[in-house]
Structure 1
Amino acid sequence: MGPAASAPHAGASPAKPAFAAAEAFRSVHGRSPAGVWSAPGRVNLIGEHTDYNDGFVLPFALPHRLAAAAAPRDDDLLTVATLGSDGRLQEAEPVRIPDLHPGAIEGWAAYPAGVAWVLRDHGVSGGADLVLAGDVPTGAGLSSSHALECAVALALLGLAGLELDDPAGRTQDRTEIARWVQRVENDFVGAPTGLLDQTASLRCTESHVLFLDVRSGEAEQVPFDTAAVGLRILVIDTRTKHSHSESGYGERRRGTERAADILGLKALRDVPLADLDEALSRLPAELRPLARHVVTENQRVLDVVQLLRAGRLAEIAPLLDGSHTSLRDDYRVSTAELDLAVETAREAGALGARMTGGGFGGSAIALVPESAVDTVDEAVTAAYERAGWRAPRTFVAVPSPGAGRDV
């Protein structure tokens, strides 16, 4: 993404990015912002590469957030500054919102500019000053870019008098905002992402995972209180590069779309698990592994949800393992660093583990007994040292609130 987010740390406070953004805004503009809005990063418990196949996903929001302090301008200019992890402010060149078009902006500034571009098409216009700050780790597969886009969307909507969940005023639907943010990624930034990340950032709630049917938009908040049963989700950021727009993400997506087209279906979500073998026999060899992953991953999401509804949280571990195997062998989006993190975590006491996010780098997650968190953490760090790689960054992920207004 860019310099707007710093490294993760255990116990990240949602208030810290909002405070930092407001203080940075005063430093840049010499006045207080009209408001501060923030959005979290996310971890996907299970359901990878299913969102753009009209399938099922199961994310939860992190406590790490990206905050946007904002104030309106009386012209059409958008100014954006970002506070880096080193405490330095970086300012993008001001742009005229009416002049924005895909390809007009490069680098990290394309994300907030793209939001202004999309909102312009929905009647939200007028200039704005934005200052961004956050602690969502970049390049870790934890959706830092979508957190930025969601925070900026809420800020620009808020300046226009369209707040989320405001019973006293005009409100804006979270599902609709998620689709707008998807358009930012797809049409302005040029990354062919699905709906998982922005929907998680906008719609997740504390102590729950979000069971989302991407096709219908139907969502269920499923209780996910790991601490109550003596378990933790340990996030292992491998610190290896992760970028949808520069990776094989688009290639995988096009492959699954081709497979659905050959099968005469709208999406691979429409292949029942019982009919998988027959469907695979109709596909060319290079598409079979992609289709197998999507169909079996959708079923794994449904199985995890059933277990969580029944309060059998520890029993999801084999499904996490199965997801990683499928992503590694069929979808081929894992890396040596991710595989080592997953394998070492299991050997050190994790009940189950998998890579999370789009792959090609990024993070893994491990379901770990509370008493074994330090042991697993130390084992993975030692394994990386033996491999000659820099140490991973780790933290315990706590299901946290979704996007909203802070100040």
Structure 2
Amino acid sequence: MSAAEAFEALYGGAPDGVWAAPGRVNLIGEHTDYNDGFVMPFALPHTAVAAVRRRDDGVLRLHSADVPGAPVELRLDELTPSGSWTDYVAGVAWALRDAGHAVGGADVHIESTVPTGAGLSSSAALEVVTALALSELCELGLHRWQLARLCQRAENVFVGAPTGIMDQTASACCTDGHALFLDTRDLAQQQIPFDLAALGLQLLVVDTQVKHAHSDGEYGKRRAGCEEGAAALGVTALRDIAYEDLDAALDRLDDAEVRRLVRHIVTENRRVERVIELLSAGEVRAIGPVLTEGHASLRDDFRISCPELDLAVDTALSSGALGARMTGGGFGGSAIALVESSSADTVTKALAAAFTEAGLTQPRVFPAVPSSGARRLA
């Protein structure tokens, strides 16, 4: 049954349209987005799909294919967080109305193939597909970058997760066959060709099946530590510390934890620049060691890896990967591994064996294909 057919069965009539928004993989640039830094995500083929019908009576009815039961009915003038999946959809309606946009209500049915808790931005996909649908149905005329900003506000203020702008922008703005170089300070974008298949390469996603939540406190602690470092160094954000000035900046910081956070952000911004330089020069295989450096920094300086992620990275590297690192917010979720297409099966089997030997749940491994951002399907 299609999303439109499921909608009709639920609500007794056809939707006004069907939209999709993807999850994302971040190639490089982790935790730099809330430090006004550089990131380089690309969209996955996995999407959240929303069948939506406009209402004008102030009622929002929400249903997910993953949640049994009748649609949840909410009033737009009484929206408050509930701690459930509906917050990501209702929060977008709240953010649109809070920004002065006329949203009168909607019936919504959601289906998603983006793995939840895997660090692949399942929440951003929900937010962006809702924002795009409501923007088009209500004829708000918003640009994609504006939708991303509103979705970030929904997650920060309504949901209560202190995420940066990367996930929502990737879901809204990525294009097929490209990675998105995003300057999160001014949202300047550059689409970087990233056709791995043509070069005999694959980027494997290794979902460790370890779940995490950005709002569980650890993410917020890292963000607060970065802000403390910026304040101590007298800059607006850690983006303003040049790589060449890093050692001098670290000498000015007394707190060892803050020093580690600052070091990761400054070196990670430089790694994004190095990856762009290598891709622009056609040296795609050479980005592998840069990815691996990024994992070491996330593990040792930012301290957001975990045994399962480290096992995935170490196993991928020892079985032939050109580079590997964790991706996403950390404390679980997924790793990525750049591999020759001819060795993808070998790496995948090695990962399965390593997780079995460690007594862990089998990881879900699949190739990440740079795909289209949010769009209308029908």
| TM-score, normalization by structure 1 | 0.91
After TM superposition, the structure 1 = structure 2 runs for residues 151-166 of structure 1, keeping only pairs within 5 Å, are 151-162=129-140
Q: CA deviation at 1:91?
A: 3.7
Does 1:65 find its partner at 2:72? no
**Which of 133, 139, 157 pairs up with 1:187?**
157
Structure 2: runs of 5+ lacking an equivalent: none
Is the contact made by 1:247 and 1:360 (CA closer than 8 Å) also made in structure 2?
no
The size of the alignment, in residue pairs, is 376
| Post-superposition offset of 1:22 | 1.3
Q: Offset at 1:32?
A: 1.1
**Equivalence map 1:97-116=2 (5 Å):** 97-101=76-80, 103=81, 105-116=82-93
Q: AA paired with 2:13?
A: R
Specify whether residues 144 and 99 from structure 1 end up closer, same or farther in structure 2 by C-alpha distance, changes over 3 A only. Answer: same
- Report deviation, 1:125: 1.6
Contact 1:59 1:209 in 2 (8 A): yes
Asked whether 1:144 is paired with 2:134, we answer no
Distance in 1 (CA, whole Å) between partners of 2:191 and 2:329 is: 23
Alpha-carbon distance between aligned partners in 1 of 2:203 and 2:377, rounded to the nearest angstrom: 26
Question: Is 1:78 equivalent to 2:78 in the alignment?
Answer: no
d(CA) in 2 for partners of 1:286, 1:393: 33
Tell me the CA shift for residue 93 of structure 1. 2.8
Cross-structure match for 1:93 = 72
CA contact (8 A) 2:63 2:72 kept: no
- 1:301-323 per-residue CA deviation (whole Å, 9 max, x = no partner) reads 00000111111100000100000
Aligned-residue offset at 1:247 = 4.2
- Please name the residue that 2:281 is paired with: 310
On the 8 A contact 1:81/1:91 being kept in 2, the answer is yes
Letter in 2 for 1:128: A
Structure 1 counterpart of 2:290: 319
> 8 Å contact 1:92–1:109 — kept in the other structure?
no
The correspondence for 1:35, drawn from 12, 17, 24, is 17
Match of 1:166 in 2: none
- Alpha-carbon distance in structure 1 between the residues aligned to 2:56 and 2:86: 21
**Counterpart secondary structure, 2:45:** strand
Identity %: 57
Decide which of 276, 279, 285 is 2:249's aligned counterpart: 279
1:285-312 deviations in whole A, cap 9, x for unaligned? 2210000000000000000001111111
1:250-287 deviation digits (Å, cap 9, x = unpaired): 00000000000000000111111111011001112221
Partner SS for 2:236: coil
User: Unaligned stretches of 5+ in structure 1?
Assistant: 1-18, 163-170
TM-score, scaled to structure 2: 0.98
Q: Which amino acid aligns with 1:353?
A: A
Question: Structure 1 CA distance, aligned partners of 2:371 and 2:108?
Answer: 25
Conservation of the 8 A alpha-carbon contact between 1:25 and 1:131: yes
Q: Deviations over 1:117-144 (max 9, x none)?
A: 1111232221210000010000000000
Residue 92 of structure 1: CA displacement?
4.6
What code does the residue aligned with 2:78 have? D
How far has the Cα of 1:75 moved from its partner? 1.1
1:161 Cα shift?
2.2
**Superposed CA RMSD:** 1.1
Q: What CA distance in whole angstroms lies between the structure 1 residues aligned with 2:178 and 2:87?
A: 32
2:341 to 363, 370, 376: 370
**Which residue matches 1:356?**
327
Contact persistence 2:207–2:365 (CA under 8 A): yes
The structural deviation recorded for 1:89 is: 4.1
Alpha-carbon separation, structure 1, partners of 2:56 and 2:146: 27
Counterpart Cα distance in 2 of 1:23 and 1:341: 40
